[in-house]
Structure 1
Amino acid sequence: MLVLVAASLFVGTGGAFGAWALLKLIAIATNIFWFGRLSDAPVQIVDSLVGPGVVVIPVIGSLIIGVMARFGSDKIRGHGIPEAIEAILYGESRLSAKVAFLKPLSSAISIGSGGPFGAEGPIIMTGGAIGSLFAQRFHLSAAERKTLLVAGAAAGMTAIFGTPVAAILLAVEVLLFEWKPRSFVPVVVAALVSLAWRPLLVGSGPLFPFHGVPATSWLIMAGAGGIGLLVGLEAVLLSTLLYRIEDLFHRLPIHWMWWPALGAVIVGLGGLIDAHVLGAGYQSIQDLLDGSLATRVVLALFIVKAIVWLVALGSGTSGGVLAPLLILGGACASMIGLGIGANPGFCAMLGMAGILSGAMRAPLTGAVFAAELTGHFDSLPATFAAAVCAYAVSVLIMRRSILTEKIARRGRHILQEYIVDPFDFLQAGHIMTPDPQTLPGTTSIARTIAFFANEAVHRSYPVVDEGGHLLGLVSRADVLRWQVESGPQDTSLAEGVSDASQPFAVPQAPVGVVADLMVESGIGRIPIVDPVSHRVIGILSRHDLLKARRIGVAAERMRSR
């Protein structure tokens, strides 16, 4: 853990500078595509005066991305977070330098040319690549590489949004697939290091501050829960539509390199309707929270933004999901607020918490993310109400999250429900076979050969002395060896099998420890010895290990008073 903490200091710094570079690249690309100048000054696409060129510019950017994906690396396609999950679970947490370079560049071109995406998915992939590349410079295990990959992802997200707690929770709920000090502590350190760099690189304070948040009450939390239920349904609908659109692209008789350009035509047409739907849309998020947008614009964000985002992402271009989800959830909840006469900005914040929770299956992340983005930590009870209700709707209706569905379509099904491994909390005494049949140490080898030929049921048996103390283990392999060697068969078992290295376990040993003994020794039946009397009181076989699974299933499914 301490070694990984030391490494996370460098990875956190790399993630912060990676986020800074990504934001600069997005600004440069936006200036080039929409204003025809080379500058890294922050600009808004809605301020450009390109006229009908709004249809052409996204297509040009998407053509560039298609070429980069075809001849560079196809890993740059998609959300970013599913690719990081896949690398963690199936790629030994190894990401290439090519991905670390091409992912932010392609995302900057995508967002800068009007792609309706945010920077969070790309920076999670980029920060993860920085952590993975750093880890690959040293002799580390796949689990340790995973920790540094996730630390880089959390650092990148923290630098972009200024949300260290939400970044840490995202790591726990979506990326780590474990809860261990070895992984948790370095991720926290990386996120805090990135937060320390953020004022110098990006800025300080909440990214989307706004005023007019009501005090928490039962009525507020009930309303937040209602909003959560509705945006949870929205999250299910968006995820379903996204993958149906992706299926339609897969049916096209042209190479996938051209799909982003086709999707960009829809993006450009959406920009003709309302330019607010283009780009990352961070200003639109701020306007939703401020409640300063006209109803027509909110409706356009809700409908047109959804269409262009779904088509663009389904086409396989490079972009993220968090910022678009914030806009779509915020727009939906804002209209609910306008309809019932509530504060539309506060409702938008609740919608943002709910839709992240429902779409990504990350309720803690969704609730805390909305509070950190706005600086309204006193609204955490309300954001939790919205997030948990949206999460409940999502898990009841949708089989997988918007992130894991993409991986499942490649034949890799991921469960996001974490449980403690029964091997870690069950003890050998719980599942062992008690009072096993043993063979006396005084038995001759000839008698043992006859026993295995006519009476033996198991592959091996413990050998004990007069007091029941373990002397060793005799197996069918031993009997076969004795038959082949044709040595003296009047020798006793005590002399033939006595071995001080014979593995054994005590009843209090975790089942996982016994399973490790089996793997290391190659012996499928481990004697269980009483720690006080040193007598053999049981035996644990490979078949007994399956009892641990059965006990866990019974605890989940068997109901009784």
Structure 2
Amino acid sequence: MNRKVKILYINFLQFKKNFIQYPYRKFNFIELFLIWVSEKLTRSQFLVLSGILVGLSAGSAGVILKVFVHYIQSSISTDVPFEERLLIYGIFPLIGITLTAFIVKYFFNGDEEKEISFILKDISKKQSKVKITKMYSQILQSGITVGFGGSVGLETPIAVTGSAIGSNYAQRYRLGFKERTLLLAAGAAAGISAAFNAPIAGIMFAFEIILTGLVFTDFIPLVIASICGSLLSTIILNEDILFNFQARETFNHFNVIYFLGLGVLTGFYSRYFLVVGQYVHRFFERFKKKMLLKALLGGLMLSILCVLFPPLFGEGYINIRTIYQGNVKLLIEDSLFSYFGNSEVIIIVFLSLTILLKAFATSITLYSGGNGGNFAPSLMAGGLLGFVFGFSLELMGFTEVPTTNLMLVGMAGVMSGAMYAPLTAIFLIAESSSGYDLFIPLMIVSVISYLINRSFSPINPSFKELAERGDIFTTRQDQNILSHISLKDCINPSSVQICTTDSMEEVLHKFRNSDQNSMAVVDVNNQFWGLLNREQLRPFLLNKESAEGTSVSQLAIAPPFIISPNDSVMEVTKMFDEADVWQLPLLNEERNFMGFISRSKILTNYRALLRDYSE
């Protein structure tokens, strides 16, 4: 009995210590309790608890965003006469993008980091520490953008929000890099899971996108977080808000040829989607310092597109649902194309133009100042593409064309190619449509689309620039580790310099009293002149030749490479491999000598980081 009382008293003292160490102003009671609990649980147990809390928090954020957008769009009713609907399409996208840009500029200091690529950069360059403002900024900005008709999706902002929640939770409880990254990925998985009610797709998204280049064995918290996010959205959201398609046709293996054709079609469309995005991004880059002007211009362009092609308004899931229910003619009747009738040819032309312009509408929304992602646009475009493909085959006389299945599989195809995430696309459609019997066509189309895009670029073009700079992790493990090494940590601390005014006796004395094989030659202003190495001076050091009449400047030779402070360690490593030397000079812009970069120091730092990441 006394022992139990003693243990209870010790626990009380520990709790009191935490309470004093972390004042109530900074930590509320729940956080104090969790800090105390973390000291009582093992690492694995606390990570499981953390996965539950992060999953529920990220799932709640996803639910809030979905409900927020649903409320805005319900307020902007489109169930009005045709002329008034055109007015809505012509005004609200402009208002949405402009209002989002205004909020970003004046409430978030112009911070336009809104894509998944910036989360990947935070993992690589900031030790998985995401800004705390990302926990709520994405909800507000994307909610306004999409709610007012921006042609983007909510899933990327939900994933970014979930990542921020996981990262800041881990920071709050002083977890290490690996735990912080794991919970960051768990938050993203929970967000995607909540958005689509697809827990496996959320997990696949975390592994394919967020955790690229990282190795984890303890992924149970990620699974638990994804489950929590999915359960939360299922309990709170109704089917009108969730991405949900139940009806489909039975898969017939004789239709494989159709899916092969659709795979090629979605692959090239995905490439088109990405190229258009890059083109539009470059166009709006010229207005980088004029945020509101850029938003007004982009909003005006989007409004015009929405007036001409109303399916471009908003996420677009309602259009897929309309076609899925067999009401494709309603899309024509709600547009200016209704004046041309609703024949089969008009339907194909209208939907084909909508598919092509969807890439522009999405890119304009994103890069002119709106906030959103490519999930919904790629799914909508893929669904329309699958329908047009199947409908065209029917008009050409082909029988038993599985048009409904082609729509579902088309969504996965475009998403797989546009996001370089085939597994995410496969499981997303399989889970959201309960279409596990469609796994074979889903895999065929998704893999073909992915391989076509990989043939153009091994890395997603959205991430390519960051990957080339070493700002994000890739599948190259050596690059990932080298990108974490600083040049300053690779400078040889025992570098000895030779001045151009030094006599040969002084030079020989320095070499005899040093173990360095090379020394930098500088003038009185520290300007770099070249190198002197021990091999050059061997005859003088062995007294085989007289150094009389020989000057330092005469003997100085140019190095094979000169390193700049702006060079990455990866670039420096390539220089060492090509030159086959052990140290190279580091010069600033004024050609002042800053020291020797040592190859052995790079290897030492590499081994240390490799050991840290393996633990």
Q: TM-score, normalised by structure 2?
A: 0.63
Equivalent runs, 1:387-426 vs 2, <5 Å = 387-405=446-464, 407=466, 411-412=469-470, 414=472, 416-417=474-475
Equivalent runs, 1:176-187 vs 2, <5 Å = 176-177=211-212, 178-182=214-218, 184-187=219-222
Aligned pair in 2 of structure 1 residues 371, 402: CA closer, same or farther (>3 Å)? farther
* Alignment deviations for residues 271-313 of structure 1 (CA, whole Å, 9 cap, x no partner): 2113221011111222344453242553353133333122222
Tell me how far apart the structure 1 counterparts of residues 144 and 167 of structure 2 sit (CA, whole Å): 24
Measured after TM superposition, the shift of residue 189 of structure 1 is: 0.8
Tell me how far apart the structure 2 counterparts of residues 165 and 384 of structure 1 sit (CA, whole Å): 15
Residue in structure 2 matched with residue 299 of structure 1 by the alignment: 352
Residue in structure 1 matched with residue 37 of structure 2 by the alignment: none
Tell me how far apart the structure 1 counterparts of residues 403 and 466 of structure 2 sit (CA, whole Å): 36
Q: Which amino acid aligns with 1:312?
A: T
Tell me how far apart the structure 2 counterparts of residues 102 and 339 of structure 1 sit (CA, whole Å): 43
Q: Does the 8 Å CA contact 1:270/1:305 hold for their aligned counterparts?
A: no
- Is the counterpart of residue 150 in structure 1 residue 185 in structure 2? yes
- Is the counterpart of residue 14 in structure 1 residue 57 in structure 2? yes
Equivalent runs, 1:522-561 vs 2, <5 Å = none
Tell me how far apart the structure 2 counterparts of residues 287 and 280 of structure 1 sit (CA, whole Å): 13
Secondary structure (helix, strand or coil) at the match of 1:7 reads helix
Q: Does the 8 Å CA contact 2:472/2:480 hold for their aligned counterparts?
A: no
Aligned pair in 2 of structure 1 residues 542, 371: CA closer, same or farther (>3 Å)? same
Q: Does the 8 Å CA contact 1:69/1:257 hold for their aligned counterparts?
A: no
Measured after TM superposition, the shift of residue 79 of structure 1 is: 5.3
Aligned pair in 2 of structure 1 residues 84, 543: CA closer, same or farther (>3 Å)? closer
Aligned pair in 2 of structure 1 residues 388, 415: CA closer, same or farther (>3 Å)? farther
Aligned pair in 2 of structure 1 residues 3, 320: CA closer, same or farther (>3 Å)? same
Residue in structure 2 matched with residue 256 of structure 1 by the alignment: 291
- Is the counterpart of residue 5 in structure 1 residue 63 in structure 2? no
Q: Which amino acid aligns with 2:244?
A: F
Task: Find 1:125's aligned residue among 156, 160, 184.
Answer: 160
Q: Which amino acid aligns with 2:279?
A: R
Q: What RMSD in Å do the two structures reach over aligned CA positions?
A: 3.4
Measured after TM superposition, the shift of residue 70 of structure 1 is: 1.4
Residue in structure 1 matched with residue 306 of structure 2 by the alignment: 271
Q: Does the 8 Å CA contact 1:159/1:194 hold for their aligned counterparts?
A: yes
Aligned pair in 2 of structure 1 residues 164, 335: CA closer, same or farther (>3 Å)? same
Secondary structure (helix, strand or coil) at the match of 1:181 reads coil
Q: Does the 8 Å CA contact 1:55/1:269 hold for their aligned counterparts?
A: yes
Tell me how far apart the structure 1 counterparts of residues 120 and 480 of structure 2 sit (CA, whole Å): 24
- Is the counterpart of residue 345 in structure 1 residue 345 in structure 2? no
Task: Find 1:26's aligned residue among 59, 69, 91.
Answer: 69
Tell me how far apart the structure 2 counterparts of residues 214 and 334 of structure 1 sit (CA, whole Å): 17
Aligned pair in 2 of structure 1 residues 416, 335: CA closer, same or farther (>3 Å)? farther
Tell me how far apart the structure 2 counterparts of residues 4 and 300 of structure 1 sit (CA, whole Å): 49
Task: Find 1:332's aligned residue among 365, 385, 395.
Answer: 385
Aligned pair in 2 of structure 1 residues 137, 260: CA closer, same or farther (>3 Å)? same
Measured after TM superposition, the shift of residue 237 of structure 1 is: 1.2
Residue in structure 2 matched with residue 371 of structure 1 by the alignment: 430
Measured after TM superposition, the shift of residue 142 of structure 1 is: 2.4
Q: Does the 8 Å CA contact 1:17/1:201 hold for their aligned counterparts?
A: no
How many matched pairs?
Answer: 427
More off after superposition, 83-92 vs 413-422 = 413-422
Aligned pair in 2 of structure 1 residues 543, 107: CA closer, same or farther (>3 Å)? closer
Tell me how far apart the structure 2 counterparts of residues 13 and 44 of structure 1 sit (CA, whole Å): 35
- Mark the runs of 5 or more structure 2 residues left unpaired by the alignment: 1-43, 330-346, 395-400, 482-511, 518-581, 583-598, 608-615
* Alignment deviations for residues 363-402 of structure 1 (CA, whole Å, 9 cap, x no partner): 1111111211211011011101111101110010134315
Tell me how far apart the structure 2 counterparts of residues 93 and 48 of structure 1 sit (CA, whole Å): 50
Measured after TM superposition, the shift of residue 419 of structure 1 is: 6.4
Tell me how far apart the structure 2 counterparts of residues 21 and 44 of structure 1 sit (CA, whole Å): 24
* Alignment deviations for residues 407-440 of structure 1 (CA, whole Å, 9 cap, x no partner): 459x4465643669999xxxxxxxxxxxxxxxxx
Task: Find 2:243's aligned residue among 194, 199, 207.
Answer: 207
Q: Does the 8 Å CA contact 1:154/1:187 hold for their aligned counterparts?
A: yes
Tell me how far apart the structure 2 counterparts of residues 383 and 293 of structure 1 sit (CA, whole Å): 24
Measured after TM superposition, the shift of residue 47 of structure 1 is: 8.8
Aligned pair in 2 of structure 1 residues 71, 226: CA closer, same or farther (>3 Å)? same
Measured after TM superposition, the shift of residue 74 of structure 1 is: 6.2
Measured after TM superposition, the shift of residue 51 of structure 1 is: 3.8
Q: Which amino acid aligns with 1:386?
A: V
Residue in structure 2 matched with residue 242 of structure 1 by the alignment: 277
Measured after TM superposition, the shift of residue 322 of structure 1 is: 0.3
Aligned pair in 2 of structure 1 residues 90, 23: CA closer, same or farther (>3 Å)? same
Tell me how far apart the structure 1 counterparts of residues 155 and 103 of structure 2 sit (CA, whole Å): 20
- Is the counterpart of residue 189 in structure 1 residue 227 in structure 2? no
Equivalent runs, 1:498-517 vs 2, <5 Å = none
Aligned pair in 2 of structure 1 residues 408, 262: CA closer, same or farther (>3 Å)? farther
Measured after TM superposition, the shift of residue 406 of structure 1 is: 6.4
Q: Which amino acid aligns with 2:72?
A: A
Aligned pair in 2 of structure 1 residues 5, 354: CA closer, same or farther (>3 Å)? same
Tell me how far apart the structure 2 counterparts of residues 240 and 146 of structure 1 sit (CA, whole Å): 31
- Is the counterpart of residue 314 in structure 1 residue 367 in structure 2? yes
* Alignment deviations for residues 36-91 of structure 1 (CA, whole Å, 9 cap, x no partner): xxxxxxx8899993543432222122121111211233686365322222222222
Q: Which amino acid aligns with 1:355?
A: V
Residue in structure 1 matched with residue 576 of structure 2 by the alignment: none
Tell me how far apart the structure 2 counterparts of residues 132 and 45 of structure 1 sit (CA, whole Å): 44
- Mark the runs of 5 or more structure 1 residues left unpaired by the alignment: 36-42, 424-452, 459-523, 525-540, 550-561
Q: Does the 8 Å CA contact 2:159/2:191 hold for their aligned counterparts?
A: yes
Secondary structure (helix, strand or coil) at the match of 2:69 reads helix
Q: Does the 8 Å CA contact 1:249/1:315 hold for their aligned counterparts?
A: yes
Q: Which amino acid aligns with 1:326?
A: L
Q: TM-score, normalised by structure 1?
A: 0.69
Task: Find 2:146's aligned residue among 111, 121, 143.
Answer: 111
Tell me how far apart the structure 1 counterparts of residues 420 and 181 of structure 2 sit (CA, whole Å): 21
Tell me how far apart the structure 2 counterparts of residues 277 and 338 of structure 1 sit (CA, whole Å): 21
Secondary structure (helix, strand or coil) at the match of 1:215 reads coil
Secondary structure (helix, strand or coil) at the match of 1:49 reads helix
Aligned pair in 2 of structure 1 residues 74, 285: CA closer, same or farther (>3 Å)? farther
Residue in structure 1 matched with residue 441 of structure 2 by the alignment: 382
Measured after TM superposition, the shift of residue 324 of structure 1 is: 0.4
- Is the counterpart of residue 54 in structure 1 residue 97 in structure 2? no
Secondary structure (helix, strand or coil) at the match of 1:299 reads helix
Q: Does the 8 Å CA contact 1:159/1:202 hold for their aligned counterparts?
A: no
Aligned pair in 2 of structure 1 residues 291, 103: CA closer, same or farther (>3 Å)? same
Residue in structure 1 matched with residue 175 of structure 2 by the alignment: 140
Q: Does the 8 Å CA contact 1:210/1:289 hold for their aligned counterparts?
A: no
